Amino acid sequence: MFFRRNNKSSKKKLNSDNVTENLTAEKIENLFSNMADFNKINLNTPGGNEYILYFLKSLINVDQLNLTVILPLLHGNKGSVPSSIGSIEVTEIDTLHKAMENLLTGSILIEDIVQEKYWSIVIPRDLSRSIDTSQQESILYGPNDSFVEQIDQNITLIRRRLPIAQLKCKDFTIGSMSKTKLYLIYIDGLVDSELLKTMEEKIRNIDYDVFLNSSEITSFLDDNKNSLFPQYQLSDRPDVIVSALSSGKISLILDGTPFVIAAPITFFELFQSPEDYVHRWLVGSFLRTIRFVAFLITLLLVPAYVAIATYNYEILPLQSLIIVLTYRSNVPFNPMIEAFAMSLILEILKEASLRMPQKIGPSLGVVGGIVIGQAAIDSGIAGPVLVVCIAISGLASFLVPNYLMTNSSKLIQFIFIGLAGLWGSFGMIIGLVFLAIHLNSLTSLDRSYIAPLAPFYLKDWKDVIIRSPVQLMKTRPEYLQTQNKNRTSSTKENIK
């Protein structure tokens, strides 16, 4: 970590030499040798034409192949392939590279032996799962459809909610091996052009081989890689993404993952959940305030215990001190080690429950939670108050709707425990100050991360800690600097 390191990755190019190579049947068969799903069909039509079909059976829709390609070819006698198959788009192929590309993305290659031409038709197999409810964020009184792994279906879900011509969708291909499709979605005329330019430049500079999920892309697009705070929002709910788009943000959809990226984001938006907008506005504000309080509890409750037991016993009133610390003398460790150990055990339980098979999960959960906790207290390894504090802070960490923040806040809690054990309440405040300095300088797509706080935008505070009624939220967030700030049609400029 402390010594110089060369991190340049070497670029690998696959098949770079055959971009302009000519196309022959032999070359195709060589290229696709040793592939069990590579099929070749000979067709002899009554009209005297001879066709050979090449395709990868795993990638194409076989039923549609029969209906739309083989039957018209056999029974049509028009003469050339495009005129026989009138219904789908047919493109002519002349290079090996293009043929390979098309075959690998779900097309069939038709070789017209008589005319010595090659044609390609796209018939992809539909592999999507059906639209299901989101596993990560589900709300009671709202839409429950979620994105799937097919990019076209995801676009459909978005377009149905925003049927306007200004919803633009630029496509990119990233990943030298996975050649993943990436769509950049934004509302033209609304989003700030600087944001768009920055995002496009960053996407063009991505250089990696395989992209399997959205988090891998965000690490290329981050402004601050080493920060614990997420600078992009990942969501698999279409209503969240559409609301982000209509506020003036940019969205990225990646093929192969249901999680869509929305950017930029602020720290306070990590505490927003679509459920706030379902309840009455006072109830929604209350829930949001509880989330902020829960975040502070996660960060500060266990370190406060450590600080009180180690340095600052004067802070608590006498009765509370008696409750909190009566059992301390039975515990052989010092408070910092005790807190670290019990937090670590909680993390082990959490990770274990993620990986346990479903059949034995519940019973082992009982073992872990109740037996270990109770046995630890009875044997004197931990005090009961500390176990209660750790349990409360563990539960409170899940209140933040963004799951990435949950684990981040747990890690920050460990750091705070260490600081509190070293310097007491002074250490905790120092930790908070460092955190504040770090948050102050974070940017997400070059916008300030603590946006309505610094720079101070008074109007945006309607949706930060309290959730005002929807009629009062007439303007879009200031930090996005959208071209059109009004949501209502009371002024002349709005999107038609």
- Our finding on whether 485 is near another protein (CB under 8 A) is no
Is 108 or 309 the residue whose CB approaches another protein more closely?
309
| 312 binds another protein per the rule CB under 8 A | yes
Q: Is 455 in the site for another protein (CB under 8 A)?
A: yes
Distant-in-sequence contacts of 47-52, Cβ < 8 A, 24+ apart:
47/76, 47/77, 47/79, 48/114, 49/73, 49/79, 49/112, 49/114, 50/112, 50/113, 50/114, 51/81, 51/110, 51/111, 51/112, 51/113, 52/25, 52/110, 52/111, 52/113
- Range in contact with another protein (rule: CB under 8 A) among 40-48, 184-192, 326-334, 488-496: 326-334
Instruction: Return the residues of window 196-235 that contact another protein according to CB under 8 A.
Output: 198, 201-202, 205, 221-227
Q: Is 325 among the residues that bind another protein (CB under 8 A)?
A: yes
- Residue 219: helix, strand or coil by DSSP? helix
Among 43, 321, 392, 495, binds another protein (CB under 8 A): 321
Binding to another protein (CB under 8 A) within 364-423 occurs at 423
Please state, in angstroms and as integers, the Cα–Cα distance from residue 411 to each residue in 268, 271, 298, 358, 468, following that order.
19, 18, 10, 27, 33
d(CA 475, CA 374): 53
Instruction: For residue 426, state whether it binds another protein (rule: CB under 8 A).
Output: yes
Stretch near another protein under the rule CB under 8 A, chosen from 1-9, 157-165, 357-365, 391-399: 1-9
**From the CB of 488, what's the least distance to another protein, in Å?**
25
**Residue 301 binds another protein, judged by CB under 8 A:** no
430 binding another protein? (CB under 8 A): yes
Q: How far is the CB of 496 from another protein (least distance, A)?
A: 31
Q: How many CB atoms lie within 10 A of CB 220?
A: 15
**Which stretch in 8-16, 51-59, 79-87, 441-449 sits in contact with another protein by CB under 8 A?**
441-449
Closest of 7, 31, 29, 9 to residue 18, by C-alpha: 31
State yes or no: residue 341 binds another protein (CB under 8 A).
no
CA angle 203, 208, 210 (to 5 degrees): 105
Smaller CB separation from another protein, 287 or 325: 325
Q: In the numeric block, which tokens belong to residue 281?
A: 């506005």
Of 446, 469, 472, 489, the one binding another protein by CB under 8 A: 446
DSSP labels, 108-143: EEEEETTTTEEEEEE-B---PPPP---SS---TTS-
Query: ∠ CA(357), CA(397), CA(214), 5° rounding?
Result: 65
Q: With CB under 8 A, what is the number of residues at the site for another protein?
A: 58
CB-based contacts of 483, cutoff 8 Å, min separation 6: 189, 190, 191, 192
How far apart, in whole angstroms, are the C-alpha atoms of residue 342 and residue 346? 6
Question: In the complex, what is the shortest distance from the CB of residue 475 to another protein, in angstroms, rounded to a whole number?
Answer: 17
Residue with smaller CB distance to another protein, 248 or 427: 427
Is 61 one of the binding residues for another protein (CB under 8 A)?
no
Would you count residue 293 as binding another protein (CB under 8 A)? no
Residues at the site binding another protein, with contacts judged by CB under 8 A: 1-4, 198, 201-202, 205, 221-227, 308-322, 325-326, 328-329, 331, 334-335, 423-426, 429-430, 433-434, 436-437, 440-443, 446, 448, 450, 453-456
